[in-house]
Amino acid sequence: MIVTSREAWTGRVLLVLLMAFTIVPFISLFVTALHPSGTYPSGIQWPQDPQWGNFGRAFTSANMGELLWSSGLIVLGVVPAALVLGTMAGFAFGHLRVPGHRIGFFAFVLGLTLPFEGIITPLYYQVRDMGLLNTRWAIILPLLGLFMPFSVIWMRAHFAGMPNDLSEAARIDGASTWQLFWRVHVPLARPAISALGILLFLWTWNQFLLAIVLVDDPAKRTMAGALGAFQGQYGTDIPLLCAGSLLILAPTVIVFVIFQRQFTAALLQGALKG
């Protein structure tokens, strides 16, 4: 490729600027979190006496231990089930091409752009009538439904791309549809399933609206939902609020850094595919 050095340098400068725009807010948050609790520091300013203890205090007052446990439970309730249901339906629509699969698929496409606010009011009354208000099920079950359009369409796209010869060979060997699914196609779909799992984890962990509407007790919410309550409580104590926010966003960042490659690929594909 022809790259003049002037072009390469403009590229580098622009990239660094963009990275600075992304990262400086985090630095400001971090530096502010180190100021003495109750003070009102300004902008980016390294404190004379960094208060590392703020993180400990925020950890206790935000009930972080309990929150991690709660969010973990919600993720465990949503992600595996959504993966199983989405994969099975994607297989039915994308590979088995059951009669009427176009209509079924279209019904899911409709849900793809649906804003959660569009159904939150009746969802509240429905969850209340089911007696699930203020339980983690109030977040888990609706999220399962809300994630179905994306999950089904994502998995359908994968299965539609699988060659038919593969299934025909398995059929000739006497495989039932279930064996065909479980023994042949699920193992081959592992990359698509794990990418979907990463996205679903992220969206569950960060879910806010359902958490604040359907669950009053912050200790039974998702991480993001609990952060809203923490802000209400410590809105005026800026350093402590910053420390708490950092603690609450840390798990996603840590998971992101560990699975960085898979995350990036999943996020890019997730936006493009469907």
Single residue of 146, 170, 193, 243 touching another protein by CB under 8 A: 146
- Closer residue to another protein, CB minimum distance, 68 or 96: 96
- Closer residue to another protein, CB minimum distance, 28 or 73: 28
Distance (Å, rounded) from C-alpha 259 to C-alpha 36?
35
Q: Which residues in the 222-261 window bind another protein by CB under 8 A? A: 223-224, 227-228, 231, 238, 241-242, 245, 248-249, 252-253, 256-257, 260
Single residue of 58, 67, 170, 181 touching another protein by CB under 8 A: 181
Tell whether residue 173 is a contact of another protein (CB under 8 A). Answer: no
Tell whether residue 19 is a contact of another protein (CB under 8 A). Answer: yes
Tell whether residue 175 is a contact of another protein (CB under 8 A). Answer: no
- Closer residue to another protein, CB minimum distance, 20 or 65: 20
Single residue of 57, 63, 73, 97 touching another protein by CB under 8 A: 97
Tell whether residue 187 is a contact of another protein (CB under 8 A). Answer: no
CB of 70 to another protein, least distance (A): 14
Single residue of 86, 137, 139, 243 touching another protein by CB under 8 A: 86
Tell me which stretch binds another protein (CB under 8 A): 50-58, 60-68, 141-149.
141-149
